[in-house]
Structure 1
Amino acid sequence: MSSTQFLEDSNNVFVILPCYNEEESLERLLARFKRLCKISNRSFYFVVVNDGSTDHTLYVAQTFKKEMPIHIINFENNQGVATTFNTGFAYVIEKASDDDIIITIDSDNTMSPYVIIDILEEMKKSDVVIASRFIKGGRMVGAGYRAILSYVASWLMRWRVGIPNVTDYSIFYRGYRAKTIRTVFNCYNGKLVDGKGFAGMANLLIRINRANQNLFFSEVPLVLRYDLKEGGSSIKILQTIWGYLKMSFTFSNTNDT
């Protein structure tokens, strides 16, 4: 476990929200976050990364910015998962102190923001906390074929990589200490998330683990409500499958390099 074992309630919480054509979902999600801020004793700061949306996502973020502490990063053209997260992380680590908390969550309103309460509690004894669909109390609702893809990816990564206490490698919903992200960000010259598609989120966990194997990972249960998602999915199936296969053999736990 890291030397910082106890997280004070005074630590700031930075929430990174990657967005691509999420106007309806983002509006509902930010409204839920607004309610969370009112009942929490934490100081929340939100970073909306608009990844070239062609709908009114940017307008929704600008509207809520009048009521909440939101910083908007706007890309005119779609950059993809890696650039979106790397840019969000780069902004936050310039603002955050080492023991502040960074939360990442999808903006499609399929994940309850109130799980952050559980994540922050777990952060008192952890360096990275993952909201997992695959531990007791976690599950997926209305995921269809995506559930099969997620289960296969989870099994493959646990078999080939095997980070202790980690079952869910692909979910966006996580909590990190700012110090952890800053260290790995600098190790990889700003390319903290690498690769195309959603497999980049698994790559991020691997890089964090390899940068400091003394870090402690843990999970809290997540009910993923895919039935609440507005619009279609942006996931590219073949690209995602190939990404996980390539990564699982490149970063196998039998590979010492």
Structure 2
Amino acid sequence: MDSKNKYTVLLPTYNERDNLPIIVWLLMKYFSESGHDFEIIIIDDGSPDGTLDVAKELQRIYGEEHIILRPRAKKLGLGTAYIHGIKHATGNFIILMDADMSHHPKFIPQLIKKQLEKDYDIVLGTRYSGDGGVFGWDLKRKCISRGANYITQVLLRPGASDVTGSFRLYKKDVLERLIHSCQSKGYVFQIEMIIRARQFGYSIGEVPISFVDRVFGESKLGGSEIAEWIKGILYLFATT
């Protein structure tokens, strides 16, 4: 194991008070067991449900060296949450994941192991290769996600099997460069990150993961997001 590496998990949150204690407990468990140096940066966007109060309590329980709070006054979007989080990150690797329990922290040691195999710039958790999969989605959601992924593959040839997922490990400097080169917002942002990575010649590894639909709270994918996604893909197709 490479003891020089430190891993920063960026957890953007909005109304995740029920999920946050579970995800943080699991992160603490798997990092402690694997022996890697780590920190968890929680970026709460002014959640009205008291997510930040929960985060403060978790910081008190687990310690300020592991739980770092970098809240913002209101909801400003995923891309800017990552930029905000990276500024405070002391790790040389950054792990991006959702706080809603759809990404299980048990896969993080596998992402790290994969990265170390060939010194990959990026390692993706993929639902669409090996024994990866999606659980808890109805047929419509599965069709939308698979369809989105397929159309992206055909139009943009990203060189990765799952471009819409958001469970990823990046070298810190690679992530900074990609974020600053991306124009997209929302769901297309994750796709553009991989398209830009291919343009810059970054190496990409993949680890099969199982994705479980959110445990508590409302899913954020609706008709307007799908329309936004289609516009975004066509924009990327026209400009990359």
What TM-score, normalized by structure 1, do the two folds share?
0.84
What percentage of residue pairs aligned between the two structures are identical?
22
The Cα offsets for residues 150-181 of structure 1, whole Å up to 9 and x where unpaired, read as 111110111111122x1111211000011212
Which residue of 136, 143, 150 corresponds with 1:148? Answer: 143
Which secondary structure state, in structure 2, belongs to the residue aligned with residue 218 of structure 1?
strand
Native 8 Å contact 2:184 2:232 kept in 1: no
The letter of the residue matching 1:244 is W
* Count, aligned residues: 234
2: distance between equivalents of 1:196 and 1:142? 26
Number of the residue aligned with 2:82: 85
Two-structure CA RMSD over aligned residues (Å): 2.0
Offset of 1:102 from its aligned partner? 0.6
Number of the residue aligned with 2:127: 133
Out of 65-74 and 19-28, give the one that drifted further: 65-74
Number of the residue aligned with 2:197: 208
Which residue of 229, 232, 235 corresponds with 1:244? Answer: 229
Native 8 Å contact 1:22 1:108 kept in 2: yes
Native 8 Å contact 1:49 1:84 kept in 2: yes
2: distance between equivalents of 1:107 and 1:195? 21
The Cα offsets for residues 2-59 of structure 1, whole Å up to 9 and x where unpaired, read as xxxxx82430000000111001111111111121232121111111110121112111
Alignment gaps of 5+ in structure 2? none
The Cα offsets for residues 61-96 of structure 1, whole Å up to 9 and x where unpaired, read as 11111214111111222112222222223332xx34
Which residue of 100, 123, 134 corresponds with 2:115? Answer: 123
* Aligned positions of 1:32-181 closer than 5 A: 32-66=26-60, 67-68=62-63, 69-92=66-89, 95-96=90-91, 100-124=92-116, 125=118, 126-144=120-138, 145-164=140-159, 166-181=160-175
**Quick check: which one's helix share is greater?**
2
The letter of the residue matching 1:203 is E
2: distance between equivalents of 1:18 and 1:167? 24
1: distance between equivalents of 2:40 and 2:102? 18
Matching of residue 224 in structure 1 with residue 211 in structure 2: yes
Offset of 1:193 from its aligned partner? 5.0
The Cα offsets for residues 90-140 of structure 1, whole Å up to 9 and x where unpaired, read as 332xx34xxx21100000012110101110011121111111111111111
1: distance between equivalents of 2:194 and 2:158? 8
What TM-score, normalized by structure 2, do the two folds share?
0.89
Offset of 1:256 from its aligned partner? 7.3
